[in-house]
Chains A and B, each alone.
Chain A
Amino acid sequence: MVRARGRGKQRKLHPRGRSVEPAALEAVREVLGVEPLRRDLLIEYLHRIQAHYHHLSRLHLTALAAEMRLPMAEIYEVASFYAHFHIDSENPSLPVLRVCTSLPCMLASADTLLGQLRGQLSGRARVLPGSCMGRCDCAPVVAIDARYIVNASPQSVRTALDDRVEEPLPSATRYVAYVADGGYQLLQSCRIGKRPLTDILNKLEASGLRGLGGAGFPTAHKWRTVASAPGPRYMVVNADEGEPGTFKDRDYLAREPHRVLEGVLLAAWAVGAEKIYIYLRDEYPELYRLLAEELPAVIEAGLAPAGGVEVRRGAGAYICGEESAMLESIEGKRGLPRHRPPYVAEQGLFGRPTLVQNVETLYWLREILEQGAERFAALGLNGASGLRAYSVSGRVREPGVKRAPAGISARQLIDEYAGGMAEGHTFRAFLPGGASGGILPERLADLPLDFGSLDEHGCFVGSGALIVLSDQDDLSAVTRNLMAFFAHESCGQCTPCRVGTEKAAELLRAPVENEALLSELAEAMTNASICGLGQAAPNPVRSLYRFFRDDLM
């Protein structure tokens, strides 16, 4: 013998690494069915396995990796990236209860609620904090698995835990009613050539329509770019709506899904997209079911080819609203934003030219093309074009989705659309564009809420989420909440954002002492982050120092 050995070395029973358990392989096959597996559907498969077993056990993930012929690490990366997946839960049989702690819900004492539920429900539920769930007008919000409890209280959550009724479908305008009201005629007339493409593009340009997902990119321009790129081309609908305080896309889809779909098909026609993907956030399961009921009607009517429209669910990741991260997610990967250039219009989904458009942008197409571009443009105020939906939340009497002229001021929105300030609250500050758009003081509430109009104050209107703050709110605490949100939702790819958001959240505990450092960090984050998340994350910090020095202590 070469030398004495043994020394308690463990005997190897298998080749290196985990081996597939036959039973787990069977289980996974059963859940996934017989269709050939597709790499891009990984997230969907994880959803299905979790729906069945209430968590993702490593046994199943090992089997899934073998079945999909993917590295285990690649499966784990994806599964662990998305907040809605739970890997090897201790108690998979318990429901998962997520308490929204994003700003509008925080204003409605979500932190207290979280503490109460954790205390009261241990052993009955897996209680976790969560990010904005898109129901900020009914804060606070709690999710029990895929059910959403609005205006939640410990009491209502406990009741809901017991009676497991599924949420009813929203009362939408269904296919038949929509068609009866003249729906899809615009699309048809485009397709048969009655409305030529150049005419459509010119109208779109004249309407001044800009991307309502937040970036405000001129829509006509984007269509031209995609249409002129070599095929095959894709179209992706951004229904990920993750910006805290934003819930308008949900409203559109819940009420008028076909108006959105007609816009989708129209845009796809205009750019010659071969296939359409609708990326819907996982927080909107009722819309997923609604679309599952309505899409077949559209296909049956021959408005879209079978298999031509795929609805994909997110899995709890704000960053997947960022268009290139969304494409990664549709490809079944982690939602890491891509570098630009190349732009997604040139090199997008599966490397092909892709038109990405927000739900609301698409919603307005029919209005513009039927009622006239100039007429639409003229509806705006203060130099802005058209209408748009503002999601109003926070300290107002009647929070909700407010369709109003683009360019309206915050004060008008509050007073004329949201019933004024809530009982006992005095208007003090507002966030014009959700978590990313910065914070403005009441004295600037007469500025138009439009693209570009808030730049000089370090803010932007983005997705049109107006969160209203009052004299009772501590702006330091608000800023910390926002930074914690960004830290939690950062994809973690680039240093300034991954480390910067965490360190900023830490430094914000002592905002006075750390002012110089935070300002320097804010500059670096804005200048050197890969995507809009990290670039915009320091906006509230800047606002805090600029407008709310009283709240620094």
Chain B
Amino acid sequence: MNGPVSFFLDDREVTATPGESLWDVARREGTEIPHLCHTPKPGYRPDGNCRACMVEVEGERVLAAACIRQPQAGMRVSTGSPRVECARRTVFELLLADQPPRTQAHRLDTSFVHWCDHLGVSESPYPARKPPEPDRSHPAVAWFPDACIQCQLCVRACREVQHNDVIGMAYRGGNTRVIFDLDDRLAESTCVACGECVQACPTGALMESARVNRMGEGLPPAEKRVPSICPYCGVGCQLDFLVDDERIVAVEGRDGPSNHNRLCVKGRFGFDYIHHPQRLTRPLIRRDDAPKAGSGTVDPADPSSHFREASWEEALDVAANGFKKIRERDGGEALAGFGSAKGSNEEAYLVQKLVRTGFGTHNVDHCTRLCHASSVAALFEGIGSGAVTAPFTTCAESDVIIVTGSNTSANHPVAATFLKQAAVRGATLIVIDPRGVDLVAYAEHRLLFQPGSDVALLNAMLHVIIEEDLYDHAFVANRTEGFEELRTHIQPYRPETMAPICGIEAETIRRVARIYAGAKAAVIFWGMGISQHVHGTDNVRCLIALATICGQVGRPGTGLHPLRGQNNVQGASDAGLIPMFLPDYQSVEDAATRARYEQAWGVKLPAKRGLTVVEIIDAACGGRIKGLYVMGENPAMSDPDLNHARASLARLEHLVVQDLFLTETAFHADVVLPAAAWPEKEGTVTNTNRQVQMGRPAVAPPGEVRQDWWIVQQLARRLGLDWDYQGPADVYREMSSLMASLKHISWERLQREDSVTYPCPGPDEPGHEVVFWDRFPTASGRARLVPVDIIPPDELPDEKYPMVLITGRLLEHWHTGAMTRRSRALDAIEPEAAVSLAPADLARLELNAGDRVRVSTRRGTIQIPARADPRVPEGSLFIPFCYVEAAANLLTNPVLDPYGKIPEFKFCAAQVEDGS
């Protein structure tokens, strides 16, 4: 169908636009046609199997399924003829016969119940089958086959929307049934518990475990629904909190620009941590008889051994006075603050403003330092901006997609679904990663290279593209500078020479380079596998060179996209939570910029850039930093070489920690301030796609817990600042008046639209998704090509430490686990730390999966059970850093990338021994 088509719907002439089904047109025209196997949500194709939506087309022998039938000119369609009514009723009666009785329904607010009621079908004349047994093996998802109507929505949800490929519809006839993998129990299947199937199921056959009782009976539907944003990663999925009696009882995905209703296991099932009994509800002050020690631990369930409860007045006074004392005695340079990429833009702005104006120093940083600082450094140098050049959804228009150093399906699960979708559509997916990350199943080319040899491989690709004259001459001539130096520099990096270093055959390097260079539109995604190296900045310089010499930036389907880790890394960085930058990356060393902010804030600002996260910890160790304010960060878990980091924290004269729980960092605190959790807050966050989005409070904070903005303001006032913000809206107004990036994106607009991309050309216009179509925001307007050499990882394997330790995240756990390990479902799915090794390495070490092993590096040793994982390359170990009982960062190497100051979390030499 090419143009609009007019036809008759119940004798009324109507017009269908191309692609619309009869069902679509009827809905638009206000005629409700029952539907079960069809959902008009993005990503779900109609399947026409349930036959609830039958309509009569004049002249046709049988009825037609409206959801899948395209109108034809002149067609006469009846949505309520006697044949239609008979068929519809029969369909519902047939299905109802096998449903559990309503009194025992797994769920009542389903579309099946809705339509039965609508059609007045309350009982079925048909005999019932023997109900099949439920599967309640999985901590998050319960499976009640007795309610299943074989509509295949879950199959489409799992396979075509989320691309998790777990659910199938097996057998046939009356035996047709949903299976997981090879008819395995859900808990033993590859299910990643994204919950898409639960959200799609029209009958309550697939349920959130927490929404049914032991008998399988559904709990009452939630009373309220609050639209907000998922706080669990840089994707920034929009969601609805379903709230009942001041508890979040369920979560559903909303149609946000970065998720289209999808969520991952964390966003779907990971919010019960806010109701956890270990939640701090009153301020705490360290007891005089509880000295600090780097190795000291406190029971977060009972901090009374080290802390006493205090009133807010007292706690805030003690907290502020500690800072004041140091400021007056040693100057602002002896103070520092860590903000959080987990908080809102407004909170990030306030924290940096507090440190800069209240402490009088630029010693303010946050965990971006630990994830993408090198990416930002290289991007700034190369193209003048640290943000992505296009949203990840641009991959829908790419014909080649490179993903490197990113276990996307674990760390940006919903972004991964878009990548897989693009691959299924026909885009060539190239995965370049030492680990066989899950995405490789969708990749046409898989380059499993030697850990740490990124530059060798990428330079070899650059070599091929330049030597074989595959680069975009016009783009190079008009939009870049430094090409000749790059050309000369790259000459010795022949694929044949690099192959032994990176472990990828020269021919493969050549092929992949040609595919990328020859693409109509190609995009590069990367994660911390690229950035967390001593050569992290160099890695990214190579990626920038690749993209720019091939002209793969600035158009839809092209771009450079560092997948930002935490939910608000982008926003927190934009807001100035960085030691060298004021908001919007304005250098603190630039006098004009300083003058502008001094004017706005009414305070003189220091002219020297501040220290970064790891530098602050080092300075604390050396006694130069004496007071530290930590809001929502956990360096005692997230920093490299934890023994050193924890000892440094313990050396501080004054440490104030503001958090939800008594974190490992709070063990060493003098004052602990209990703060509100994300679902209790209002505020904006900015995701990896540069989309500024509105978060809203679903429940009230427990006990005496206060909002972070309020706490920061109280500290500020006690430090002599005359702050008087009434709430986040006030803060946002101030920051957006100072930040060009937020131009045309007002608080009111965000309340209205939920999400606006920056930069944005006008108050009523959508933001620019793809940027730099005509120039780069560098001084010359051109991209700067920076040639790089191979720097080996800092600590190479040797005889004593023969293996390579890679650290990272798990799908179920976020950051240091403070939240997710207190979520019942998430912790039940991944309850225990483990070191993953290639099966061959296990065999070589004469170990079995499940054995306890001792993993040591030059910095420390942990005891941890081993897991066999064929995705881990031989010679490597993988340990997630979220488990306090086997903290991976006790082992990691604190050596920094010289430009981004990011530690080399992805490579250090390690040793594994039998630990039993």
Contact = CB atoms under 8 A, between A and B. Distances in A.
A490 B174 contact: yes
A501 B126 CA distance: 12
Contacts of B463: none
B570 to A, nearest CB: 30
Given A14-B868, A528-B51, A503 B94 contact: yes
A252 to B, nearest CB: 29
Interface stretch (B183-191, B324-332, B587-595): B183-191
Interface in B802-859: 817, 821-822, 827-828, 830-832, 834, 836, 849-850
B632 interface: no
Contact of A501 (B83, B166, B174, B181): B174
A13 interface: yes
B739 interface: no
A532 B170 CA distance: 21
Contacts of B149: 495
Interface residues of A, number: 64
Interface in A1-39: 1-3, 5, 9, 11-20
A14 B867 contact: yes
Contact of A339 (B54, B68, B165, B836): B68
Interface string A374-389: 0000000000000000
Given A1-B885, A498-B173, A501-B173, A17 B94 contact: no
B729 interface: no
Contacts of B184: 17-18
Given A15-B871, A17-B181, A76 B91 contact: no
Contact of A503 (B97, B441, B827, B884): B97
B51 A495 contact: yes
Contacts, number: 210
B127 interface: yes
Given A15-B871, A62-B182, A506-B127, A492 B172 contact: yes
A14 B183 contact: no
B94 A499 contact: yes
Interface in B92-116: 94-95, 97-98
A499 B52 CA distance: 13
Contact of B867 (A13, A72, A491): A13
B173 A5 contact: no
B257 interface: no
B322 interface: no
A524 B87 contact: yes
Interface string A290-331: 000000000000000000000000000101000000000000
A529 B817 CA distance: 52
Residue of A3, A61, A503, A517 with highest tally of chain B CB at under 10 A: A503
A341 B441 CA distance: 34
A214 to B, nearest CB: 15
B645 interface: no
A507 interface: yes
Contacts of B190: 16-18, 72
Contacts of A529: 51, 62
B867 A496 contact: no
A81 B300 contact: no
B181 A72 contact: yes
B48 interface: yes
B182 A61 contact: yes
B167 interface: yes
A188 to B, nearest CB: 41
Interface in B47-78: 48-52, 54, 62-63, 65, 68-70
Nearest to B92: A495
Given A9-B832, A13-B849, A72-B182, A495 B300 contact: no
Contacts of B52: 495
A520 B171 contact: no
Nearest to B190: A17
A152 B884 CA distance: 70
A77 interface: yes
Given A9-B831, A14-B868, A15-B869, A77 B168 contact: yes
A77 B49 CA distance: 17
Contacts of B629: none
B326 to A, nearest CB: 32
Contact of B62 (A74, A517, A520, A526): A526
A339 B65 CA distance: 9
The A interface is mostly helix, strand or loop, or mixed, namely helix
A202 interface: no
Contacts of B869: 14-15
Contact of B94 (A2, A12, A495): A495
B39 to A, nearest CB: 17
B169 A77 contact: yes
B180 A73 contact: yes
A177 B340 CA distance: 86
Nearest to B840: A22
Interface string A55-83: 00010011000000101111111001100
Contacts of B278: 2-3
B86 A73 contact: no
Nearest to A500: B94
A62 B52 CA distance: 36
Contacts of A14: 849, 867-869
Interface in A503-553: 503, 506-507, 517, 520-521, 523-530, 535
Interface string B342-361: 00000000000000000000
A498 B176 contact: yes
A74 B165 contact: yes
Contacts of A18: 181-182, 184, 188, 190
A489 interface: yes
Contact of A81 (B83, B172, B174, B828): B172
Contacts of B189: 16-17
A495 B48 CA distance: 10
Interface string B284-310: 000000000000000011000000000
B95 A499 contact: yes
A359 B332 CA distance: 91
A503 B830 CA distance: 44
Contact of A73 (B94, B150, B168): B168
Interface string A81-97: 10000010000000000
Contact of B171 (A72, A492, A503, A517): A492
A218 to B, nearest CB: 17
A493 interface: yes
A496 B171 contact: no
Interface string B858-874: 00000001011111000
A498 B168 contact: no
A76 B170 contact: yes
Contact of A496 (B90, B170, B179, B822): B90
A498 B62 contact: no
Interface in B220-245: none
Contact of A524 (B90, B171, B183): B90
Contact of A535 (B62, B94, B827): B62
Contacts of A87: 182-183
B175 interface: yes
List 7 tightest A-B contacts by C-beta distance, closest first: A73-B168, A492-B176, A17-B190, A71-B165, A524-B90, A13-B849, A528-B87
Interface of A: 1-3, 5, 9, 11-20, 58, 61-62, 69, 71-77, 80-81, 87, 317, 319, 334, 339, 341, 487-496, 498-503, 506-507, 517, 520-521, 523-530, 535
22 contacts: A2-B822, A5-B831, A12-B867, A14-B849, A16-B191, A17-B190, A18-B181, A18-B190, A73-B168, A74-B168, A76-B181, A76-B183, A81-B171, A334-B169, A492-B150, A498-B174, A502-B174, A517-B126, A520-B86, A525-B90, A528-B63, A535-B62
Given A12-B867, A81-B170, A528-B51, 15 more contacts: A2-B821, A3-B301, A71-B165, A73-B182, A80-B171, A87-B183, A339-B65, A490-B172, A492-B171, A494-B50, A495-B91, A500-B90, A502-B173, A507-B127, A524-B91
